[in-house]
Amino acid sequence: MTYETLVALAFGYLLGSIPFGLLLTRAAGLGDVRSIGSGNIGATNVLRTGNKALAAATLLLDLLKGTAAVLIAGAYGPETAIAAGLGAFAGHLFPVWLGFKGGKGVATYIGVLFGLMWQAALLFLAVWIAVALALRYSSLSALVACVVTPVALLLMGRPELATLFAGLSIVVFIKHRANIARLVAGTEGKIGAKG
């Protein structure tokens, strides 16, 4: 690993570790988002505060930090872009400021994907929307899209990105293990369900 890729990885990590969900909910006077719901800092848990605008802002900022890391580091080459994307994803999941307890990574995953290959990111979103409309499970929609993405990247002739996103997808599955258990048990909450 070169000096440039190490710097890109560190830069991506620092950018990715900004806990927008926590910062936005505190700024809005809603307290610590980690004290409600899943205890997560991501947009889905921010939505549990009842503030849809704040949840949307969290989703967008968590996505954009992945894209920004890739595009900024990408000015120095494709290897640094990939390293920064990996760093941003890791930073979101394991932020040093929060004792390495962060989000589940889906928004930042999409943001990194947008920065590296926007066509694949659009496919991810299309799969997510299709599964969400059909079954109304946000977690399942993300997991299915995470399975499709590395395969699509391989078919698009980007094996290096397919390898990266296969690894990121495995991490997303691990972070969603509680959701997977609830899906199997039939107790996972559906999109739009109350309580």
Q: Nearest to residue 19, comparing CAs of 51, 58, 50, 66? A: 58
Report residue 37's pLDDT band, with 50, 70 and 90 as the boundaries. Answer: confident
Report residue 194's pLDDT band, with 50, 70 and 90 as the boundaries. Answer: low
Question: Residue 54, exposed/middle/buried by CB under 10 A (0-12, 13-18, 19+)?
Answer: buried
- pLDDT for 111 beyond 70: yes
Dihedral, CA atoms, 127, 129, 130, 131, nearest 10 degrees? Answer: 80
Report residue 114's pLDDT band, with 50, 70 and 90 as the boundaries. Answer: very high
Report residue 30's pLDDT band, with 50, 70 and 90 as the boundaries. Answer: confident
The pTM for the full model equals: 0.93
User: Where are the domains positioned within the chain?
Assistant: 1-103, 117-195
Handedness of CA 67, 69, 73, 79 (dihedral sign): negative
Lowest-pLDDT range of 10-19, 35-44, 65-74, 81-90: 35-44
- Alpha-carbon distances, residue 5 vs 65, 70, 94, 143, 156 (angstroms): 18, 12, 19, 29, 25
